Amino acid sequence: MQFSPKKFLPFLIFISSILGLNAQHINYSIIPKKDTANVYQEMLNDKSDDLMENHPADDIYNNIWTSEKLNPYKIPIDSLPDTVRIDCKNFFSPVQGIITSDFGPRRYRYHYGTDLRLNIGDSVHAAFSGKIRIIDYEARGYGHYVVIRHDNGLETVYAHLSQVMVELDQVVKGGELIALGGNTGRSTGPHLHFEMRYLGNAINPASIINFYTGQVHNDTYQITKRKSFYYQRDLKAQQAAKYYKIRKGDTLGQIALRNGTSVKALCRMNNIKLKKLLQPGQKIRVR
Ligand SMILES: [Zn+2]
């Protein structure tokens, strides 16, 4: 049989693919997949690299850029680095408003931001330079809202807006007009709901910003698990909370007995008096 290179070629490709020589058999698993937290995990565990040196946001949020979810990262607080320094030098107050509601526990859900009073149509400014990651609308939540990924590694959320003045992926400077304030979504009166997050985890904005002066407390903010995420304990307690809907004829004594608690504990948890008149349909916390 005569040797024919043409006939021999498919055989060669077959053999080389078995041996792993084919160029198409490069191990693609080394390329970070979009929207998976593993990439971050590895980076966060890598102590040799100073994440915060140049453009921390690029490194910290490597390849996770989606306008679908506020927190696509799903990084538990326990796995964050112990301390991270955030450059807050070029801060601009989003609005000149007074606080109407603080970051912290609310009756049934946690409040992850600071509410600032404004009038519908007031200018809302970017807190730092960055890039617009999300523009969305949630009828039962944020209303019209914008999320910015900042160069310093933080992300900020601006909610209940009446009008958005920027586009998705637009690069903005600190202080740039991004939206007009409003009263959209779950909101009782015009205000800005403002959040600051690091890798999806909310930080109390008042720990970075003095809203009365419109300035940051310090030029750098040091994120630490203990100081920045102190609210985790509150949150766990709230998540473990159980409520009971009062029925006609219920007494505190019965409710306590049925839920393995005491009348005294019920009064304390719900901040009510012993002789409180129970309203059928009302919810009472029992755990
Ligand atoms: Zn709010």
Predicted local confidence at residue 17, as pLDDT: 45
Compute, in angstroms, the gap from residue 274 CA to the centroid of ligand 1. 32
- Residue 136: pLDDT above 60? yes
Residue extents of the structural domains in the chain: 28-240, 241-285
Predicted local confidence at residue 56, as pLDDT: 53
Of the pLDDT bands very low, low, confident and very high (cuts 50, 70, 90), residue 285 is: confident
Compute, in angstroms, the gap from residue 278 CA to the centroid of ligand 1. 30
Predicted local confidence at residue 60, as pLDDT: 66
Q: Which of 1-15, 62-76, 247-261, 269-283 has the lowest mean pLDDT?
A: 1-15
Compute, in angstroms, the gap from residue 2 CA to the centroid of ligand 1. 81
pLDDT greater at residue 63 or residue 252: 252
Compute, in angstroms, the gap from residue 268 CA to the centroid of ligand 1. 26
Strands (E), the chain: 83-87, 99-101, 104-105, 110-111, 114-117, 123-125, 130-138, 143-150, 154-161, 163-164, 171-172, 177-180, 191-198, 201-203, 209-210, 215-216, 220-224, 243-245, 283-285
Compute, in angstroms, the gap from residue 195 CA to the centroid of ligand 1. 8
pLDDT in tens, 152-194: 999 999 999 999 999 999 999 999 999 999 999 999 899 999 9
Q: Identify the CATH homologous superfamily for domain 28-240.
A: Glucose Permease (Domain IIA) (2.70.70.10)
Predicted local confidence at residue 233, as pLDDT: 79
Compute, in angstroms, the gap from residue 136 CA to the centroid of ligand 1. 16
Compute, in angstroms, the gap from residue 232 CA to the centroid of ligand 1. 18
Compute, in angstroms, the gap from residue 35 CA to the centroid of ligand 1. 27
Q: What is the mean pLDDT of the chain?
A: 81
Of the pLDDT bands very low, low, confident and very high (cuts 50, 70, 90), residue 94 is: very high
Residues, CB-to-ion distance under 5 Å, ligand 1: 113, 115, 193
pLDDT in tens, 15-45: 444 444 443 343 333 433 333 333 333 333 4
pLDDT greater at residue 272 or residue 51: 272
Span 256-278, mean pLDDT? 87
Predicted local confidence at residue 48, as pLDDT: 35
Span 108-113, mean pLDDT? 84
- Residue 228: pLDDT above 70? yes
Paired tokens of 199 = 């890798």
Compute, in angstroms, the gap from residue 160 CA to the centroid of ligand 1. 9
Compute, in angstroms, the gap from residue 114 CA to the centroid of ligand 1. 6
**CA pair distance 111, 172, nearest whole angstrom:** 27
Residue entry with tokens 């991004």: 178
Compute, in angstroms, the gap from residue 104 CA to the centroid of ligand 1. 10
Fold of 241-285: Membrane-bound Lytic Murein Transglycosylase D; Chain A (3.10.350)
Predicted local confidence at residue 8, as pLDDT: 53
CATH fold match for the domains 28-240 and 241-285: no
